[in-house]
Amino acid sequence: MLQLPCPYCGPRDELEFSCGGEAHISRPLANNKISDAAFGEYLFLRDNPKGVFLERWRHASGCRRWFNVVRDTVSHDILEVYAMGSKPRRTAGKKAYNNSWRRTTAAEAAAVNK
């Protein structure tokens, strides 16, 4: 069982948390027109990398707060924990963020008011 460092409560057992899957999936706004295929990428496609992964976690049986985690899916090392709405600061997380295919999707571009 993993031990996750909740940024608000400190290190706790994994069973206190629920994993919210891939982080940094920007939600396209409905009034920004994008194709069904581009919208489908937002809705259905999730990364499952072997290695560094940016994930959302929630301290469900604790403070109920969401936060982001940089986790190595092979070693289970927790490389960084950072607040919702912010981006990873350390190298591994930054690299994973910048190299994600999502950064170039129409769905991500449609996530801001145009």
Binding interface with another protein (CB under 8 A) = 1-3, 13, 20, 27-31, 36, 39-40, 43-44, 56, 58, 60, 64-66, 75-76, 84-85
In whole angstroms, how close is the CB of 60 to another protein at the nearest point?
8
Report in angstroms the alpha-carbon separations of 40 from 5, 35, 56.
33, 8, 20
In whole angstroms, how close is the CB of 111 to another protein at the nearest point?
10
Give the start-end residues of each E strand in 1-114: 3-6, 10-13, 18-22, 52-58, 66-72, 78-83
Residue among 75, 71, 72, 60 nearest 17 (CA): 60
- The answer for residues whose C-beta is within 8 angstroms of residue 48's C-beta and 6 or more apart is 73
Nearer to another protein, 40 or 49 (CB): 40
In whole angstroms, how close is the CB of 43 to another protein at the nearest point?
6
Residue 31 and residue 51: Cα distance in Å, rounded? 36
Nearer to another protein, 32 or 47 (CB): 32
In whole angstroms, how close is the CB of 92 to another protein at the nearest point?
18
